[in-house]
Structure 1
Amino acid sequence: MKWFENLKYFFERNGFEVSSRFADRLGMTAKNIRLFFIYLTFATFGIWFAVYLTLAFLLRLKDLVYTKRSSVFDL
């Protein structure tokens, strides 16, 4: 069971924060969002995994484009 905990920790640490961002936006827990993606992936033969990766890419791109500036003088 230790390897399963290590695997879970790896995916939670490197999961691009897609699930947690949607959970914060929807007012749900990230665990429920992850389960939703897992069940839909099995039900639709993997198409939702592609959607998840696309969303992760778009969120990463948005973070790179819209950087938070602390003051006006950071321009």
Structure 2
Amino acid sequence: MNRLKDFIEWKVFGVCTYLGEKWGVATSTIRMYFIYLTFLTMGSPILFYLFFAFWMNIKQYIWSARRNPIKWL
């Protein structure tokens, strides 16, 4: 059960944590507003969340490939 909690905190909520660090806002506040907006707008922020999570993953992959060009060979 503890592994599931760690996975959810590090993988699923990575977007809210990233935005909180960038904007200097508490992560719990961003999560709370995200949940409220999701209920008020009937789920449309989930599309933003998924897009942003995909973008963060691609960005991390590109940066790691730039730092280690031999990895591509």
Among residues 36, 42, 46, which one is paired with 1:45 in the alignment?
42
AA matched with 2:8: F
Distance 1:25 1:14 in 2: 17
Listed as ranges, the matches of 1:1-75 within 5 Å are 9=5, 10-15=7-12, 17-67=14-64, 69=67, 74-75=68-69
Percent identity among equivalent residues?
Answer: 33
List gaps (5 residues or longer) in structure 1. none
Runs of 4+ aligned residues of structure 1 deviating over 3 Å after TM superposition are: none
- Offset at 1:41? 0.5
List gaps (5 residues or longer) in structure 2. none
AA matched with 2:20: A
TM-score (norm 1): 0.73
Paired residue total: 66
Q: Which moved more, 1:9-18 or 1:44-53?
A: 9-18
